[in-house]
Every structure is written in C-alpha cells, then in structure tokens.
C-alpha cells in the first residue's frame, strides 16, 4: 500500500477497508519536524544527524527499506536548527523522497560502513564529514554543537577532527516524540485496529497442534496485508515456555490446556506501533491456577491504568503502582509503564523497588501515549500471564486505546 494514499478506515465483518489517508500526512510531518527543532533550540544545538531509521521516519517520513537500513550507516537525515532538512540516501534514487515537503534537499550518501566501503571506510567517512561540517558552519551561525542519535567511531572521529562538538541526539528525539498531535493519534489507532484484526485471526487459529511460529505468523500476515510494516519481536510462548517471560516463538506445538501469552510489538500502517499483550488458553476452560494468575495480572493493569494522571511525576506513578505480591515479585516485568509512538519510546517508568537504581525524573503529560505492562508468573505451575494496554493521557486521566477484550470470564 502506498502510505500517502491509503488507510484502513472501517471494520466490516472482521475485515478492514481502504480509502484515503485519515489525516493530512503533511500536517503530521510538519508537526514532527517542528517538535525536533523545538528541542534543538532548547538545547542550543546547531543541528542533528539521525541514523536511527525510526528517528529518520519521525523527522521526514522517508521510509524505504527501513529494517535493512537499520543495520548499516547508509541512510541518514541532517536537520539544521535554522536551515534545511537534507536526506542522505543509500543511492541516487530521488523518487524515493518525492512528495515529502519537509525534505529540502536530496543527496547521495558517501557510505562508509565496512560492508560497502571496505578498506576505503576512512576515506568515505572523511567525505561525509566534510559535507556535515560544511552544513553546520553554513547554517549554525558559529555554533558547532551537533547532536547525533547513533553513529560508529568511524563516522564520529572525522566530525570531531573538523571541530564539531558531538552531543546526544537520542535525548532530542525521545523528548520530541513524546507528545502526540491529534493526527498522530488517529494514525496510531489505525495501527491498533490492524493489530486487533491480527489478534482475532490468531485466536481463531489457536487449536491443539499448531506451532507457536504458525500462530505468530497470523499476526504478521494480517499486518502486512492491511498496510502495516513489520513486527519488532517474536514474543509469543505457550505452556511451560511462558515462565519465565521473554522467550520468543518456536516450533513447539501448542497442546490442549496450554496457556498462550504474547506481546505484539507491531509496527502498523503509517509506522505507528501497537504494543498490546494478551494471554489465552488453548481449549475451553482455564485451570484454577491459570485463572488465579490471570486475575492478578488483570488487577495490576486495571489499577495502573486508573491511577495515571497528567502532572504526576514518574516517581509518583511508581509509588502509586499496584503492589505485586511477593511470590511474583522476582519475575515481574522489567518496567511498569513505557512510552509508545513509532516504536517503544521514552519514558520508562520503573517499579518502586527498582527506582533508586534505574528510575529517573520526569512528568506524565497530556497527549503522551503509554503502555501499561503486567507479567505474573507462577512458580507453582510454571506458567505466566502477560497483559498490556495502550493508553492516551488526557486531562481526565488515561484513556485505553486498545479494544481487544480481556478474558473477563476467567475472573
């Protein structure tokens, strides 16, 4: 699907229909670029150099071969705080940037990563650094402070040699991405809708004998067929593989009575993330132990969604979070709440016992989108329940964006 001309806009008998984009995509692009420049100005940077493809997507919406480009320093974006946005691409293919008004100039990148440059990496890196240093001097007004989100030593060294002061671009991008526009929220809902169609197809396919991989493939198929892009992880496990958490899907055949837990991590249409988790049972009836741990996970989700309010600090949220019973504490999920946008993002709000070592300051704000996490694992049965809801912070509190039902009849 051409992302500039198609969207999923309706549900009819479990299927999605296509029509024109639900929002003005150029408005989204200008909003996001404005957010970046706001942070660049606040931190007094001359500009930013972006190699992370999710950040490039946020900055200008150039999307071709994102996963491939994530492995190599081949496609990047330079943004002057007061000046142009320039896309450095992996070849001379300007048609890949057509129709994107936030891109002021298209250049072919002097790729210096070893796979493509080999023994000429240093030479190519110097050519690239010459261009970036010239842009900073031309548009920086004497400011040589350059933010970079991620770049190898090979790329950084010649920039330093040319007098650039390199600073952390991830701070710029995470703080820019954290507040969503009304149009972004519409696009995020599209991703959630697609994700939930895939979850429905997974549920229909969940019968004894299907492998974890085959079940997980149902989500991929729905996502791609409905205009989505990729899935960041393969976090689906069944039966004894659900405890402890973080095993990815395998060729294990799911058996009758198995609990099946998964985390979608789906990048849907327009690049927005749908990060939902559910746990089901293969068969008609959960066991008493499955019902017990599910009830705890459900209670954690409900409590932590309900307590979220704008103006609350991250520490206050951690302090107000659901108190995990001791028997489940050692295997709890790594974070209590995290941000979500084009992927998982800032903030990461830690559980209270982890806060002294891993927590940091910050405030929950209106129009943040967050994911509320729970994992409850039973050492008694060797099973685990994973639940997660995606929410929008409004003036009144957290609004749940995901619609796929929980297993309320288990409670």
pLDDT band for 90, please (50, 70, 90 cuts).
very high
- Segment 174-178 shows an average pLDDT of 98
Q: How far apart are CA 22 and CA 19, in angstroms?
A: 8
State residue 59's pLDDT score: 98
The arithmetic mean of pLDDT across residues 255-283, rounded, is 98
Average pLDDT over residues 145-171: 97
H-only helix segments in 226-353: 288-306, 314-320, 326-329
**Residue 400: what pLDDT?**
98
- Predicted TM-score (pTM) of this structure: 0.93
Percent of the chain with pLDDT over 70: 95
Is residue 20 scored above 80 in pLDDT? no
Q: Which CATH superfamily is domain 25-177 in?
A: Creatinase/prolidase N-terminal domain (3.40.350.10)
| Strands 47-50 vs 145-148: parallel, antiparallel or unpaired | parallel
Pinpoint the alpha helices (H) of 85-166.
114-117, 121-139, 153-161
Length of the chain: 411
Q: What is the pLDDT of residue 19?
A: 46
For the chain, give every residue range classified as CATH 3.90.230.10: 182-410
Weakest-pLDDT range from 45-54, 59-68, 229-238, 249-258: 59-68
| Residues carrying CATH 3.40.350.10, the chain | 25-177
**Where does 206-349 have alpha helices with state H?**
212-225, 288-306, 314-320, 326-329
Q: Compute the average pLDDT of residues 321-337.
A: 97
Q: Please give the CATH architecture assigned to the domain spanning 182-410.
A: Alpha-Beta Complex (3.90)
- The Cα–Cα gap between 109 and 129 comes to 11
Average pLDDT over residues 52-61: 97
Percent of the chain with pLDDT over 90: 93
At 208, the pLDDT band (50, 70, 90 cuts) reads very high
pLDDT at 10 over 50: no
More confident residue, 13 or 25: 25
Neighbour-count burial for 202-219, b at 16+ CB within 10 Å, e otherwise: beeebeeebebeebbbbb
pLDDT band at 269 (very low <50, low <70, confident <90, very high): very high
Question: 263 forms bridges with which residues in the sheet?
Answer: 277
Euclidean distance between CA atoms 47 and 164, whole angstroms:
11
**Does residue 403 have a pLDDT over 80?**
yes
What is the b/e burial string over 241-274, where b = at least 16 CB atoms within 10 angstroms of the residue's CB? bbbebebebeebebeeebbbbbbbbbbbbbbbbb
Instruction: Work out the mean pLDDT of the chain and round it to a whole number.
Output: 94
Tokens 């659901």 sit on residue: 322
- pLDDT digits 0-9 by tens, 121-147: 999 999 999 999 999 999 999 999 999
| CA 409 remoteness from chain centre | 31
Task: Say if residues 388 and 304 touch (Cβ distance below 8 Å).
Answer: no
d(CA 77, CA 59): 8
pLDDT score for 285: 94
Q: Which of 55, 292, 241 is nearest to 150 (CA)?
A: 55
| Contact status, residue 288 vs residue 264, Cβ threshold 8 Å | no
The whole-angstrom separation of Cα 105 and Cα 127 is: 18
- For residue 102, CA distances in Å to 30, 32, 58, 175, 376 come to 7, 10, 11, 20, 45
Q: For residue 342, how many other CB atoms are within 10 A of its CB?
A: 21
């Amino acid at each position: 699907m051409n992302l500039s001309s198609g969207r999923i806009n309706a549900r009819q008998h479990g299927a999605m229909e296509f029509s024109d984009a639900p929002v003005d995509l150029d408005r989204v692009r200008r909003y996001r670029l404005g957010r970046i420049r706001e942070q660049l100005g606040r931190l007094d940077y001359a500009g930013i150099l972006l190699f992370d493809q999710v950040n490039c997507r946020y900055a200008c919406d150039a999307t071709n071969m994102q996963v491939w480009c994530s492995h190599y320093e081949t496609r990047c974006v330079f943004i002057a705080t007061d000046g142009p946005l320039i896309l450095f691409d992996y070849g001379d293919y300007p048609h890949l940037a057509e129709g994107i008004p936030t891109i002021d100039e298209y250049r072919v990148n002097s790729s210096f990563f070893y796979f493509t440059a080999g023994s000429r990496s240093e030479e190519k890196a110097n050519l690239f650094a010459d261009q970036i240093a010239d842009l900073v001097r031309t548009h920086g007004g004497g400011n040589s402070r350059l933010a970079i989100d991620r770049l190898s030593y090979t790329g950084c060294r010649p920039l330093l040699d040319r007098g650039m002061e390199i600073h952390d671009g991830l701070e710029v991008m995470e703080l820019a991405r954290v507040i969503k526009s009304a149009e972004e929220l519409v696009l995020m809902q599209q991703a959630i809708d697609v994700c939930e169609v895939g979850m429905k197809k997974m549920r229909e396919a969940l019968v004894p004998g299907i492998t974890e991989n085959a079940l997980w493939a149902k989500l991929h198929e729905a996502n791609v067929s409905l205009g989505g892009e990729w899935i960041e992880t393969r976090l689906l496990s069944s039966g004894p593989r659900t405890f402890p958490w973080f095993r990815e899907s395998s060729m294990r055949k799911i058996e009758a009575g198995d609990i099946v837990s998964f985390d979608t991590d789906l990048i849907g249409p327009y690049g927005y993330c749908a990060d939902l988790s559910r746990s089901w049972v293969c068969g008609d009836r959960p066991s008493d132990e499955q019902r017990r741990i599910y009830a705890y996970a459900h209670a954690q989700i409900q409590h932590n969604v309900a307590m979220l309010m704008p103006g609350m600090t991250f520490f206050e949220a951690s302090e107000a979070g659901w108190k995990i019973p001791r028997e489940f504490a050692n295997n709890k999920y790594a974070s209590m709440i995290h941000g979500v946008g084009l992927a998982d993002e800032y903030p990461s709000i830690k559980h209270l016992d982890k806060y002294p070592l891993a927590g940091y300051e910050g405030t929950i704000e209106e129009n943040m989108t967050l994911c509320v996490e729970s994992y409850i694992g039973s050492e008694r049965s060797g099973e685990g329940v994973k639940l997660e809801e995606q929410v929008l912070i409004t003036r009144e509190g957290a609004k749940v964006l995901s619609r796929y039902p929980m297993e309320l009849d288990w409670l």
